[in-house]
Amino acid sequence: MSAPLNWIQLTGAVELGFIYSLVVIGVYLSFRTLQFPDLTVDGSFPLGAAVAATFIALGINPYAATFAAVLAGACAGMITAWLSTHLRMLNLLAGILTMMALYSVNLRIMGRPNVSLLGEKTLLSGWLGYLPTGLSLGMITIIVALGMYWFLSTRLGLAIRATGSNAKMGRAQGINDRSMIIAGLSASNALVALGGALYAQVHGFADVTMGFGTIIYGLAAVIIGEALFPTRTVFQAIGACILGGIIYFILRAMALNVGFLQASDLNLVTAVMVATAMLLPNLTRKVRKG
């Protein structure tokens, strides 16, 4: 039987939901807006954590370290886009190659498999340290989400959306679709790296294997958000991404609270939840028609 979540489990799930909401928005930008299946996410998430944790451990200001992590994620997305647009690689293959390369890059950055941040000043130990961690993460997520909404409403953002919707029509209107793919994937992986940087600072460590399954979490949250909430406008879609991320981690915490499941069953629980999330849109559509 499943026991109800206690306050610590619930707040932990919500905090993870806010952190991964940044990843979800990034996945939405690449998968839904650009129609580009980008697997770089599994490498750019630990990249952001590695850069932020290493810089903070060296005594660099946490804000500068987080900004460096965002830039590193943008560079990773740029490489994937360049491989796809200029070397004509398949989108999936370009993402896989970058993801594989980032494993070695992350090890080089950290100098070892993991970096501890215990006792170090982080982004959340400044003025944000006076607020509960969940509230601080929620504020950061909302600010980033509003910034992404503004970005997608600019001429550049509209060009990126047009490229994902119909690349041929975009080229006919004078849009450089290669540049738009590079800009879109750079922004997407910058958001993912920001999520990794926040994860490292909240949990006090960065590990080279922490990106495993990140793309699955992001896709599951996108699907859950789209199934449960309206996504007719960009503002609604971004809001659905945030709520989908929070709901996903709450559901995952509830599933792991079932008596016969163990922590080692996390991947099994994730696979079942993703499969269920894939069925949600059809089920929701049938219910609405009924």
pLDDT tens for 56-106 read: 999 999 999 999 999 999 999 999 999 999 998 999 999 999 999 999 999
Q: Give me the residues of the chain with pLDDT under 50, please.
A: 1
Which tokens is 248 given? 């996903």
Handedness of CA 272, 274, 280, 282 (dihedral sign): negative
What pLDDT is stored for residue 272 in this prediction?
81
What pLDDT is stored for residue 67 in this prediction?
96
Give SS3 for 2: strand
What pLDDT is stored for residue 95 in this prediction?
93
Which among 219, 206, 279 has a CA at the least distance from the CA of 39?
Answer: 219
Dist CA 22 CA 139 (whole Å)? 12
- Can you give the residue ranges of every domain in the chain? 7-210
Give SS3 for 84: helix
Dist CA 67 CA 61 (whole Å)? 10
What pLDDT is stored for residue 1 in this prediction?
46
Q: Looking at the DSSP assignment, which residues form a beta bridge with residue 205? A: 116
Secondary structure (H, E, C), 227-261: HHCCCCCHHHHHHHHHHHHHHHHHHHHHHHCECCC
Dist CA 12 CA 10 (whole Å)? 5
